[in-house]
Amino acid sequence: MKSGTRAGLKKCKRILVKIGSQVLNTGHGLNNRVIERLCDDMALMRDRGREFALVSSGAIAEGRAIMRIGDVKTALSKKQALAAIGQGSLMRAYTDAFRRYGYTAAQILITREDLDERRRYLNIRNTFSSLFEMGAVPVINENDTVAVEEIQFTDNDMLAAMILPLVEAQLLIILTDIEGLYSKDPKAHDDAAIIREIPELRPRDLKAFGDGGNPLGRGGIGSKLQASYRASMLGVPTIIASAYIPQVISSILEGKEVGTFVHPRKKAALSQKDHWLGFVSRPKGKIFVDEGAAAMVLHKGKSLLPVGVVDVEGSFLAGDPVEIVQKGGLAIAVGLCNFTTEEIIKIMGAGTKDLALILDYDCDEEVVHRNNMILRKEIL
C-alpha cells in the first residue's frame, strides 16, 4: 500500500513506531508517563484493528540512570553492560503498559549481523509474522550487550529502516523530542519553520542536513531523514513527530497535520529483496569487471557473465552478496553471487559454454543474475 497523502494514512494497518532515547528518559530514569501515554494511544488503536511494532531505544540511558553514571563518555564494554542493566526495566515498562489493555509485548534484540545473511534475515521475518498472528506487540532494540562496533547499527533509526520489510509495516513513525524537520536548527534560530511535507526526498537533500546527534542515544535528524529515505524507497511513508504531542499516534493515523510527512517515492518501490541488497546486506567481496560487462550491467539491464570478470577480492560463498566494480574502482552494483571466490578465480574470462567443463558440474551461466542485483545509482 502506498500512502502519498495524510488522509491515506487512515488506511495503514501495520505501523512501525520508533521511539528515541531522548523522549524515554528523564535523565533520572525512564519517563514512564511518556511510555504509558504512547502505549495507551497504541492500545486504543490496536482495539480498532491496527497492529504495531516498536523500535525502542533507551536501554543504555536507563542503565546509566540505574547505576547513576551521568552523561559521560563511556567505553563500549561499559555501555554494553549498561544496556544489559537497562533493557530489563525498559521492557518491563512496555510489558506493564500494554498489559493494562490485555496486550502482550514481545522483546526482540537483534544485531546488524543477524540481518546480513539472507536466510537469517528471512527467519526473523517468520518470527515477526508469528508474533503478529498471536496478537503480540514486538518491541525491538539493538542487542547492544553483544554488539561491538563492526556489527553495530549506526543507530536505532537505521535499525528501524532495515527491519521495515521484515515487519511488513505500511507506515514508519519516528517519535523524537522535536516537532519534525525544521528549515533551520530551531534551537539556534527563532525563525526556523517546520517543514510539513517532503514530497520527494532525494539523496542530495540527505547530504544537506548535518547531524548534530544527541547525547543519550545515537541518531540525530540526519539519521531520521536517512531512515525516511530508505522507507520511501520501499514505498513506505514516514512521519517524524514529537512524542510529547497528546495522542500523537492516533492523530497521525487520523490524517491530522502532525510532524513532517516524508512521502513514499512515486516511482515503483524497490522489492523487499532489492531493499535488503541495497540497504541491509554488506558485500562479502568484490568482483572487478571489464568495460564491456560494466556497460551491459549499467545500461542494458543484463546479468554479469564470467567472460566480463577480470579480478576478484574477498572470501565468499555461493549466494553471498558481492559488489560489482568497474575499471577505476567505482562500485556499480551489488548482487548475490552464484559462485565462491575460488570458483570465480577459475572461471573469470571464460565463455559460457566452457563453464561446466572448467568446474566439472552443471553450474549457473551468470556470475550475478540480473534478478539478484541492484545498481548503486538506484540506492544512493
The label of the residue with cell 558485500 reads 283
- By beta carbon distance, the residue nearest ligand GLU is 217
| Length in residues, the chain | 380
- Residues 156-175 close enough to bind ligand GLU by CB under 6 A: 156
- Least gap, CB of 76 to ligand GLU (angstroms): 12
- Asked if 21 is part of the footprint of ligand GLU (rule: CB under 6 A), the reply reads yes
In the complex, minimum distance from the CB of residue 272 to ligand GLU, in angstroms, rounded to a whole number: 23
Q: Does 142 bind ligand GLU (CB under 6 A)?
A: yes
Nearer to ligand GLU, 118 or 224 (CB): 224
Residues 6+ apart with CB under 8 A from 276: 115, 118, 121, 165
Q: Are 13 and 53 in contact (CB under 8 A)?
A: no
Count the alpha carbons within 13 Å of 163 in the hemisphere toward its beta carbon.
Answer: 36
Pairing state between β 14-19 and 51-56: parallel
Is 176 one of the binding residues for ligand GLU (CB under 6 A)?
Answer: no
Q: Any idea which residue has 562500485 for its cell?
A: 331
Residue in 144, 274, 320, 366 binding ligand GLU, rule: CB under 6 A: 144
DSSP 80-114: HHHHHHHHHHHHHHHHHHHHTTT--EEEEEE-HHH
Regarding 111 and contact with ligand GLU (CB under 6 A), the answer is no
**At 218, is the secondary structure helix, strand, or coil?**
coil
Stretch that binds ligand GLU, among 8-16, 121-129, 139-147, 225-233 (CB under 6 A): 139-147
Q: Does 307 bind ligand GLU (CB under 6 A)?
A: no
Does position 308 interact with ligand GLU (CB under 6 A)? The reply is: no
- Nearer to ligand GLU by Cβ, of 69 and 295: the residue is 69
Among the listed ranges 55-63, 271-279, 338-346, 355-363, the one in contact with ligand GLU (CB under 6 A) is 55-63
- CB of 114 or CB of 254, closer to ligand GLU: 114
Nearest approach in angstroms of CB 217 to ligand GLU is 2
| Residue whose C-alpha is closest to residue 212's, from 182, 250, 191, 249 | 182
Query: What does the alpha-carbon distance between residue 33 and residue 113 come to, in Å, rounded to a whole number?
Result: 34
Scan for cell 540527505, then name that residue: 206
Handedness of CA 112, 117, 120, 125 (dihedral sign): positive
Which residue lies nearer to ligand GLU by CB, 206 or 331? 206
Contacts of 360 (CB under 8 A, 6+ apart): none
**Amino acid of residue 313:** E
8 A C-beta contact, residue 258 and residue 245 = yes
Query: Cα 366 from chain centroid?
Result: 30
Q: In whole angstroms, how close is the CB of 223 to ligand GLU at the nearest point?
A: 8
The size of the interface with ligand GLU (CB under 6 A), counted in residues, is 15
Among 25, 141, 260, 338, binds ligand GLU (CB under 6 A): 141
Per CB under 6 A, contacts with ligand GLU among 215-234 are 217-219
Least CB distance from residue 61 to ligand GLU, whole Å? 6
Given a contact cutoff of 8 angstroms between Cβ atoms, the answer to whether 22 and 214 are in contact is yes
| Interface with ligand GLU, residue 60, by CB under 6 A | yes
Q: How far is the CB of 280 from ligand GLU (least distance, A)?
A: 17
Residue 321 near ligand GLU by CB under 6 A: no
CB closer to ligand GLU out of 115 and 270: 115
Instruction: Check if the beta carbon of residue 309 is closer than 8 Å to that of residue 327.
Output: no
155 binds ligand GLU (CB under 6 A): yes
Give the interface with ligand GLU as residue ranges (CB under 6 A).
21, 57-61, 83, 141-142, 144, 155-156, 217-219
